[in-house]
Every structure is written in C-alpha cells, then in structure tokens.
Amino acid sequence: EQEKNVIPCFPQKFHSPSTEFEDSNTVDQRCREFFEISSLSFVDGLSVSLKENQLEKGNNMCRLCTLVKHPQQKNWFAIKDTYIIHMRTDSSEIRFPMLVDHEFQIKNGFPHTFGSNTIKISNLQQTLSIKCKNERQAIEWKEQLEKLIDNTVPTFSSAFTTRFSSFAPIRENQLAYW
C-alpha cells in the first residue's frame, strides 16, 4: 500500500534569482515581438501605432565596408501617424523621432540598399537604414511606410494650407503651442 502512495520523483529545474530575471525578460521580449506592442502602445494621448517590431538599425557605409561583419544591436521601431520612432529595447529610451515631411522617401532592393530585406528611409533631416529579419517582413514594413506616406505627405506637401510656408500642418487641440 505504501508503494501506491509514493509520488515519482521528477527532475526539477534549478531556479536562481538571476535565471528567473533572465526568463522573465525573455518572455517579455517574445511577447512584445509576437503582439508587436511596446510601452509606447499604452501611452495616453499618442496615436495608434501602424506597425511595431524589433529590427536592426543598418549602417550607411559603403558596400565594401559592410563585408566586415560587426554585431548590430536590435532596436525597437514604431510607425506612428506622422513619424517613426526608434527606441532601445532594454530601457525604452527614445533614440530619435523621424518626422514625415515633403522629402520623406522609402527605398528597398538592390539598386538602393545592400539587400532585399533592407529598407532605406530618408527625410529632410536624416537617412536611416533598417534591416528586417526576412524579405516578408521587409515587404510588410514597406507597405506600412507607403500607407504612412499616402496618408501624411499630401497634408505636409501643400505650402498653401500651412502658415508661414511650413511643411507641417496646423494642429488643433494640442497640449503645447508656440
């Protein structure tokens, strides 16, 4: 009768505080990537993100320089209604916002970038290259960026509807004015 009541001994994984921390960070990162959300998704007052994901920020070096591989840190990118944001994944620190203006352009493919999964984004201020995991993800990002251009650039390109020939439209009911 005692043999029937004995519970079999199963191996158990050793958990230390550091492995629990690493496990929770890995789960958080995987959930963020799966649902394509970040801390910006829950900020009240910001617009809805059109697309979010963790991508590599490419370098704008010559093709010969890119043959020497160096590790690239993956960063979090989000497409909002009139801008693109690049954030650090570990601290959610915003590195730069890239505004959509009348010179905003996207290019991908071998004539413009160094691979089929790389997208080159440029505006009046800067040029940014992002490397997607695969070609399918690059196509998704390019489609969302084209949708952003279609919705935003006509508003910004008309100098007649903006004050002082500014590239940005007049925004009503904003928290800050100048």
The answer to whether residue 3 is domain-embedded is no
Q: What total of structural domains would you count in the chain? A: 1
The answer to whether residue 7 is domain-embedded is no
Domain residue limits at 148: 48-158
Q: In what order do the strands lie in the sheet with 105-108?
A: 94-99, 83-87, 74-79, 51-57, 127-131, 118-122, 105-108
N-to-C CA span, the chain: 84
Decide if pLDDT at 107 tops 70: yes
Written as six digits, the tokens of 164 are 């002082």
> What is the CATH classification number for the domain harbouring 68?
2.30.29.30
The predicted-structure confidence for 133-176, as pLDDT tens digits, reads as follows 888 999 999 999 999 888 886 666 554 566 666 666 677 777 76
Q: What is the pTM of this model?
A: 0.67
The answer to whether residue 77 is domain-embedded is yes
* Contacting residues for 130 by C-beta, under 8 A, at least 6 apart: 55, 56, 57, 58, 77, 118, 119, 121, 141
* Contacting residues for 155 by C-beta, under 8 A, at least 6 apart: 161, 169
More confident residue, 62 or 53: 53
Please give the average per-residue pLDDT across 59-87, as a whole number: 71
The answer to whether residue 102 is domain-embedded is yes
Contact 129, 99 (CB under 8 A): no
DSSP state, residue 77: E
The answer to whether residue 36 is domain-embedded is no
The predicted-structure confidence for 12-37, as pLDDT tens digits, reads as follows 555 555 555 555 566 677 777 777 77
Please give the average per-residue pLDDT across 118-142, as a whole number: 89
What's the gap between Cα 70 and its chain centre? 21
d(CA 103, CA 70): 31
SS3 125: coil
The answer to whether residue 33 is domain-embedded is no
